Amino acid sequence: MLDPSSFRTIVSGEQQGLAATFTRALLRVAEVPYSAVVGHRNRKYDRGGSEIHHVDVPVISVGNLTLGGTGKTPMVKWIARHLRQRDLRVAILSRGYGAADGAKNDEALELEQALPDVPHLQSPDRVAIAQTAIDELESQVLLLDDGFQHRRLGRDLDIVLLDATQPFGFDHVFPRGMLREPASGLRRAGVVCLSRADLVDEATREAIRNRAAQLAPDAVWCEVAHKPATLLNSEGASRPLAELSGARVFGFCGIGNPGAFRKTLESAASEIAGWREFPDHHAYVADDLVDLETDIVAADAAMAVCTQKDLVKLRTPAIGDAELWAVVVEMEILLGEQELGNSIGHALG
């Protein structure tokens, strides 16, 4: 099975050669039926063939067009805090992808850590848990995490994130590319937000904005950066990010966009002595820790660094003799903060 980075090098066309070309051809064949199923499903919702269930409180969805991480979790945290500042009772709803045996998944655990006063409900049936949040938790606003393609629950605002480093999924639907649905689906968005905008130049940002405007001409535009803020360990202790400077660091993660985390780590650490990727939502087991310890020793690294999503599952302050820390990432709005706030306000009615 391809790891996320290898998959990207193939579908992006970066990897050349006969084997890569043949693989892309096979993936293109598989893309056709997948696209047909997605298109049929969307048309049923567009034409009223599939019922959209509306609830009695505002619903705000945060989602994306592509597979992998686009920075939804920092956006969800920002919106939840924005709503709590207005003294509104908020609940976050998600499918709970990657969770096992009814346990909370990594995203829920990270959000619970960052937002202790905001309940997070997980279930594939988000209509049911929406009603639970209203009836039992008396929620006044529902925040639908990773909800753009989940059309069964009606929403008052769709916020869609485009990752500046790969905004349109290499112009192919999975498995030939990274798109969850054709890019034309962006027309449903009320807000289009360019995440990791600081990682590309102004000309690239403008080109993405122009294409997004063609696909979703009525959507509000904003741009955000994801900035490493501090280091956090499993015991709740924090350290300044500056401690990564000058340290030999071993980095690893099990997220949808490992390349983005590596860039974040490279921006903060002087030396990445070793690196390892796991599948998205990876459930760490004891053998993984043994393997990581071996890799860390081989790299002669003094510190192991991962994402918060990894840390909340590992729940250990060290791997072998190396301390384990997570980089806490916060969202910074570069452009369109007022417009984003106004869109949220309009959704609240």
Say which residues have a Cβ less than 8 Å from residue 17's Cβ, sequence separation at least 6. none
Specify the 3-state DSSP secondary structure of 304.
strand
How far is Cα 76 from Cα 103, in angstroms, rounded to an integer? 20
Q: Is domain 228-329 classified as CATH 3.40.50?
A: yes
Tell me if 59-227+332-348 shares its fold with 228-329. yes
Q: How far apart (Å, rounded) are the C-alpha atoms in residues 148 and 160?
A: 7
pLDDT, residue 223, reads 98
Name the percent of the chain lying above pLDDT 70. 97
Beta-carbon contacts of residue 167 (< 8 Å; ≥ 6 apart)? 66, 194, 208, 211, 212
Give pTM, 2 decimals.
0.87
At 184 the pLDDT is 95
The residue behind tokens 């760490």 is: 284
Q: Who wins on pLDDT, 281 or 346?
A: 346
Determine whether domain 59-227+332-348 maps to CATH 3.40.50.300.
yes
Rounded to an integer, the average pLDDT of 37-59 is 93
DSSP 2: -
How do residues 153-179 score in pLDDT, each as one tens digit? 999 999 999 999 889 999 999 999 999
Which residue carries 């209203």 as its tokens? 134
- Distance in angstroms (rounded) separating the CA atoms of residues 313 and 285: 10
pLDDT band at residue 101 using 50, 70 and 90 as cut-offs = low
CA distance 260 to 262: 5
Domain ranges of the chain: 59-227+332-348, 228-329
Query: Across the chain, what does the average pLDDT equal?
Result: 91
End-to-end CA separation in angstroms for the chain: 47
Who's near 228: CB < 8 A, 6+ residues apart? Answer: 241, 264, 267, 268, 327, 328, 329
Does residue 329 carry a pLDDT above 60?
yes
| Chain position carrying tokens 């570069």 | 334
- Report d(CA 100, CA 281) in Å as an integer: 11
CA distance 278 to 199: 23
Nearest CA among 203, 204, 112, 224 for reference residue 160: 224
Confidence label for 232 from pLDDT (cuts 50, 70 and 90): very high
Q: Are 155 and 147 in contact (CB under 8 A)?
A: yes
Task: Report, in this order, helix, strand and coil percent for the chain, each rounded to 5.
Answer: 40, 25, 35
